[in-house]
Amino acid sequence: MPVILNPYRVVPARRNSEAEFYLGDCLELFKQLEPQSVDVIVTSPPYNMGVRYSTYQDTLTQTDYLQWTSRWVEAAARVLKADGSLFLNVGTRPSDPWTALDVAQAARTHLRLQNIIHWIKSIAIDHDSAGIGAGLTRNLAVGHYKPINSDRFLNDCHEFVFHFTPSANTNLDRLALGVPYQDPSNIARWRTGGEGIRCRGNTWFIPYETIQRRDRDRPHPATFPSRLPEQCLRLHGLDRIGLAMDPFTGLGSTAVACARLGLNFVGAELDEGYLAEAVERVEVAAAGRELPGRGAARMRKADLRPVTASSKASKASGA
């Protein structure tokens, strides 16, 4: 028996755009959308790592999880336009580094992998390797990560953003994320320098935003900063986006990016508490106001607390 979802809320945003939120399973929402009706999907599904969400149980067997991944990506592929993009953010656990790659493999049956972007949450740059032009006076270490206590595994400072498309032929607006050439003589050498800027490449340093109180400012265990979807949307090309989607809306980071950019958005979320928060965030963004903590380069994330004596035991496995 098909389930008909009605919008939970429709929020007007900039440039006559709107954000349409559905409370329910994204598989039901996908069924309701016309084939080839969505330009861009930017999303982060549950990673199946036992994260404690309010409603969703993040503890499927690996087989069931990958079968479910294949089902929702197939549904996403049906609604994507022929020149559309699916930006799929997945992280891993240091002790289980295959997770994200397994997810990408599960998506492979339905879409082509056009780019792999590395979302860098934290980086250390040595002063002498940066070169004089960078103007560093000392070694630099920026951003935050979940510190682990392990003799075998490294602190995990990045996540994947897999860029899937229907035929690996989707044109991108590479210079929308352009960075200025450090050495102007390179402009002539590479002959790609539109107005002195070059393609940013596939390493994006985006730290989490600073928040004062986790429960109030980011009441969700696994969000990405709204700058991440914003960069994905800009890269796809804003003038080619009639409708953007996030099937796993969470607190609405993709919806917020759309509201700021004046893009139509549609999203689903299983948990009403998260969805209500997403609606509120989009209303704030649509009104041009700042969300708590936006714009700062430091972060606090509940699951990124410094390792304490009591948490050491549980992290000793490197998980």
Q: What are phi and psi of 277, to 5 degrees?
A: -65, -40
Is residue 282 within a helix (H) or strand (E), and if so which, with residue range? helix 272-286
- The least distance separating ligand SAM from the CB of residue 139, rounded to whole angstroms, comes to 31
Q: Which residue in the set 7, 50, 52, 55 belongs to the binding site for ligand SAM (CB under 6 A)?
A: 55
Binding part of the chain for ligand SAM, among 3-11, 96-104, 221-229, 284-292 by CB under 6 A, reads: 221-229
Binding part of the chain for ligand SAM, among 170-178, 179-187, 264-272, 286-294 by CB under 6 A, reads: 264-272
Contact predicate 252/266, CB 8 Å: no
- The least distance separating ligand SAM from the CB of residue 15, rounded to whole angstroms, comes to 23
235-239: Cβ within 8 A, 24+ apart: 235/172, 235/173, 235/174, 235/176, 235/177, 236/39, 236/40, 236/85, 236/87, 236/170, 236/172, 236/173, 237/171, 237/172, 237/173, 237/176, 238/173, 238/176, 238/263
Binding part of the chain for ligand SAM, among 49-57, 113-121, 193-201, 285-293 by CB under 6 A, reads: 49-57
Q: Is 253 in the site for ligand SAM (CB under 6 A)?
A: yes
Q: Which residue in the set 53, 153, 181, 205 belongs to the binding site for ligand SAM (CB under 6 A)?
A: 53
Binding part of the chain for ligand SAM, among 124-132, 159-167, 248-256, 291-299 by CB under 6 A, reads: 248-256
Q: Give residues 223-242 in contact with ligand SAM (rule: CB under 6 A).
A: 223-224
Q: Which residues contact 268 (CB under 8 A, 6 or more apart)?
A: 5, 21, 22, 23, 24, 25, 26, 28, 29, 247, 248, 249
Q: Which residue in the set 99, 122, 274, 279 belongs to the binding site for ligand SAM (CB under 6 A)?
A: 274
Residue 61's identity, in one-letter code, is: T
The residue sitting closest to ligand SAM, measured at its beta carbon, is 250
Binding site for ligand SAM (CB under 6 A): 25-26, 44-46, 53, 55-56, 220, 222-224, 247-248, 250-251, 253, 268-271, 274
